[in-house]
Amino acid sequence: VVTDNLPAHKVDGVKRAIEAVGARLIYLAPYAPDFNPIENLWSKLKGHLRAVEARTAEALHKAIAQGLSLITLQHVRNWFTHGCYCA
């Protein structure tokens, strides 16, 4: 099982459960967007949020929705193609 470095993925129970069924746990490098295309989405969203500089919870919610709406199907295709997940 290949996973990122989210702390929840590193707790003992997760490792034991995976190994109990005969699988092996492999962690990606701390920042590996080529192997984890969702990292590109988070990077784009965080860049948008930094630019917007929302200062209230309401403004932040709106900025997140706006930022997510900027991510197109073409972005997703490019991220997967760049990571060699599809042709």
Residue 10 reports pLDDT greater than 90: no
Cα–Cα distance for residue pair 45/33, rounded to 1 Å: 14
Residue 18 reports pLDDT greater than 80: yes
pTM of the model: 0.63
Boundaries of every domain in the chain? 1-30, 33-87
- E-strand ranges in 1-87 read 2-3, 26-27
pLDDT (tens digit per residue) in 29-82 = 877 767 778 888 999 999 999 999 999 999 999 999 999 999 999 999 888 887
Surface-to-core class of residue 60, CB atoms within 10 Å of its CB (0-12 exposed, 13-18 middle, 19+ buried) = middle
